Amino acid sequence: MVKTLEQTLKDDSKRLKVPTNIRPYDIGYRVVSQNGNVFALRNGASVFYLPSEAEEAIRREFGKDDPNFDIGKCRVEEVAIVNFKKLKNFLQEIES
C-alpha cells in the first residue's frame, strides 16, 4: 500500500511521542533461539544496548564451546526495560 504524504502526516500526529529523558522505559535487545529460549552470557547478561552488540556477544560466548554454533539461526528481539521509579513519577504527573 502506498501512502500519500498527507496520510503519513495524519498517522504520525496520532502517535504519542514521549521524550527519552522522561520515558519510563528503555529499549534493549536479546538473542532468542528458534525454540524461544533466551541466550545469556556466563555472567547472566541477556539484554544488550544494540542488536549488533547482542549478536556479537552471544556468538563469541557460545562459539567458544560449540564451533558449529550458527547465530544466523537465532533472532534478535527488542525488549522494553522498565524503570519503575520513572514509571511511578510519569503516572503521578499524568494524574495531576
Residue 69's Cβ-side half-sphere holds a number of Cα atoms within 13 Å equal to 17
81-92 per-position pLDDT tens digit: 888 888 788 788
Please give the Cα distance from 56 to 46 (Å, whole number): 12
Average pLDDT in the chain:
81
Predicted local confidence at residue 59, as pLDDT:
92
Please give the Cα distance from 62 to 41 (Å, whole number): 8
Rounded to two decimals, what is the model's pTM?
0.65
pLDDT at 73 over 80: yes
Cα(first)–Cα(last) distance of the chain, in Å?
A: 42
38-65 per-position pLDDT tens digit: 999 999 999 999 999 999 999 999 999 8
3-state DSSP assignment of residue 44: coil
Predicted local confidence at residue 1, as pLDDT:
45
